Chain A
Amino acid sequence: MKPAGTRRRSRRVLLVISLLAITLVTLDSAGAFEPVRSGASDVLAPVTDGVHWLTTPFRNAWAGMSGYGNLETENRRLRKQLDELKAKGITDSNDREQLKRLTAQLNIGFVGDIPTEVARVASGPRNNFEDHRLEIDKGSAAGLAVGMPVVTKAGLVGRLERVSRDRSVVQLATDPAFVIGVRVAQTQDLGIGHGAGTDKPFVVDRGIELTDAIKPGNAVVTSGLARAIMPPDIPVGLVSEVVPDPADSSLLLRVDFAAQFSQLDVVQVLKWTPPT
């Protein structure tokens, strides 16, 4: 049995640690540790990149072994999709022509004149809990700044949340705290939507009236209205479900993301910042 003095001292240490931690959390709420986090990220980036490179064969082997079941499932799904596409005769030239004209009418400009910076995903989620973040290998040295949208060729991925010299952290659009204004391309109806978690569709639950003629398959893009945090016309995805809410006289839209979040490797950062 330890002496009482030792026990008292160790309890004091625990109390000091707890109080210190609460102080740190309070200071962090005021952004006191952002420079420290940015600095740590920049300092360790070359070292972790080196370890990353050295361990690539091992990590690839592990990913192959642990993801083999997923690969088989994905392979089966793609084969089925290919068969369905062949059966529908999607290669009919008339269908292609109609699609071209429809796209022109919707006038999805997407990137337009906005300068972009290509970046590689340096790491996926660091937390085992869902935090809807990833890290890219470009930062302020490449002209990036907090708030810039991140996209792939398919569509919206998220926006830059933290930027250090050589690294940036992206808040993904799957985050329930990621809220943006959107527009349904076919009907021009405006709404506000947010992420709903990993592997879950984007949800538009404000601004869409019960009488709006929105159907599954309609395209959803960013609205880019005044003081919006995104420029206009970035594809978010396609409506997969329309759920009426008579009590609220509104429609709830579930939107399947255009971007594939599980397969992100290279992204583009749009060098556009929201107007202050």
Chain B
Amino acid sequence: MSSEARTVARVGLLLFGALVLQLGMFDDLRILSVHPEVLLAVGIGMAVAWGPERGAVSSFAAGLLADLFLSGHFGVTGLAWGVSGYGIGLLSDGIVRRSRLIDAGLMALGSAAAVLLYAVVGSLFGEHTLGDDHLLRIIGIVALTGAALSPLVLPLCRWAGHVEHRLHSPRRHTGA
């Protein structure tokens, strides 16, 4: 199996696992009526680990998987998460020295941006998202849980994309 095929298989496995956990467990684990978005955390984690191009594609794929089980328009979540993944991937690429705190901050920022962008895009397509009474609460809790999941999610994303951890290295390593 070629290296690229192995990467695709690992990414597929990671996304599938995140989807099953989201549907089977995390949808019911609510903090102030908001549940963590594990699939989003994996998508943003891939953007943080791999950069904007592969991050956008992975986040887009994660969003489409989520759209299969949501009642809104198919493609809205994919668009919102894909664009957020691109943005956070760009930001991540520009940061030379990294730390776990910075990684968690990037995960929180990416998750918050994805939720806000989903609310905006959803509104454009007629969904009652931007006017939701709990918008700020949803953004806050999803961002916090995204940051909390980063110590587990980011190593898995790096494993999936064969990306070396650059916690103490200023040089950017890319996957095989």
Which of A48-56, A88-96, A212-220 is the interface stretch? A48-56
Q: Cβ of B155 < 8 Å from any Cβ of A?
A: no
Which stretch of B50-58, B101-109, B161-169 is in the interface?
A: B50-58
Contact (Cβ within 8 A) B71 A127: yes
Q: Do A40 and B20 have beta carbons less than 8 Å apart?
A: no
Given A28-B75, A59-B25, A14 and B56 contact (CB-CB distance below 8 Å): yes
Provide the bound-state CA to CA distance between A265 and B8, in Å: 39
In the complex, the answer to whether B71 meets A62 with C-beta atoms within 8 Å is no
Q: How far is the CA of A28 from the CA of B53 in the complex (A)?
A: 26
Is the CB–CB distance between B28 and A124 below 8 Å? yes
Number of interface residues of A (CB under 8 A): 51
Interface residues of A in 192-242 (CB under 8 A from B): 197
**Chain B neighbourhood of A9, CB < 8 A:** 53
Check A126/B70 contact, CB under 8 A, given A10-B86, A13-B57, A17-B57. Answer: yes
B132 touches A129 (CB 8 A): yes
* Chain A positions within 8 Å of B151 at CB level: none
- Interface residues of chain B: helix, strand, loop or mixed (majority): helix
A residues in contact with B13, CB < 8 Å: none
**Counting CB contacts under 8 A, is B122 at the interface?**
yes
Contact in complex: B71, A17 (CB < 8 Å): no
Return B2 CB to nearest CB of chain A, in Å: 21
User: B69 is contacted by which of A25, A41, A129, A130 (Cβ under 8 Å)?
Assistant: A41
Report if A44-B20 is in contact (Cβ < 8 Å); known contacts: A21-B60, A63-B28.
yes
Residues of B within 8 A of A (CB): 19-21, 23-25, 27-31, 34-35, 37, 51-53, 56-57, 60, 64, 68-76, 78-79, 82-83, 86, 89-90, 93, 115, 118-119, 122, 125, 127-129, 132-135, 138, 142
Apart from A13-B53, A51-B24, A129-B127, what are 9 other A-B pairs with CB-CB below 8 Å? Answer: A17-B60, A18-B83, A27-B74, A40-B69, A127-B71, A127-B72, A128-B142, A130-B128, A169-B71
